[in-house]
Amino acid sequence: MATAKQEIVTKQNGELQNRTAQLSTSERFTNKVMQEFSGSVAGAVQVTDYQRSLIQGYFIIIDRALKSAEEERVRKNSSNRDHQYDNQLPVNWNTVNMNDLALDLVHYARMGLDMMQDNMLFPIPYKNNKRGCYDVTLMEGYNGIRYIAEKYAVEAPSAVTIEVVYSTDTFKPIKKSKDNRIENYEFEINNAFDRGDIIGGFAYLEFSDPTRNELVIMPMKDILKRKPKYASANFWGGKQTVWENGKKIEVENEGWLDEMVRKTIIREAFSAKHLPRDPKKVDDNYQYMKMREARYAEIEAQQEINANANTVIIDTTVSTPAAALQESSTPQAENVDLGTGEVTTAGTAATEAVDEPDF
User: What are the tens digits of pLDDT across the range 110-135?
Assistant: 999 999 999 899 999 989 888 999 99
Q: Looking at the chain, how many residues does it have?
A: 359
User: Average pLDDT of 313-322?
Assistant: 36
pLDDT in tens, 132-163: 999 998 988 889 999 999 999 999 999 999 99
User: Average pLDDT of 306-329?
Assistant: 36
Q: Nearest 5°: CA angle at 204, between 198 and 210?
A: 160
Q: Strands, E, within 298-352: which ranges?
A: 335-336, 343-344
pLDDT in tens, 56-101: 999 999 999 999 999 999 998 998 888 888 999 999 999 999 989 9
Q: How far is CA 76 from the centre of its chain?
A: 23
Ramachandran area for residue 336 (φ above 0: left; ψ -120 to 50: alpha; else beta) = beta
Q: Counting beta carbons within 10 angstroms of the beta carbon of residue 332, is it exposed (0 to 12), middle (13 to 18) or buried (19 or more)?
A: middle
178-182, 254-258, 272-276, 297-301: segment of lowest average pLDDT:
297-301
Cβ density class 94-121: b for 16+ within 10 Å, e for less: ebbbbebbbbbbbbbbbbbbbbeeebbb
What percentage of the chain reaches a pLDDT higher than 70?
73
pLDDT in tens, 196-228: 999 999 999 999 999 999 999 999 999 999 887
The CA-atom distances, in angstroms, between 237 and each of 17, 200, 233, 253, 261 are 43, 16, 4, 5, 11
- pLDDT at residue number 328: 29
Helix, strand and coil in the chain, % to nearest 5: 45, 20, 35
> Does the structure show a pLDDT above 60 at 307?
no
- pLDDT at residue number 147: 95
> Does the structure show a pLDDT above 70 at 357?
no
- pLDDT at residue number 186: 98
d(CA 70, CA 66): 6
Angle between helices 142-152 and 257-269 (to 10 degrees): 20
Q: What does DSSP assign to residue 30?
A: H
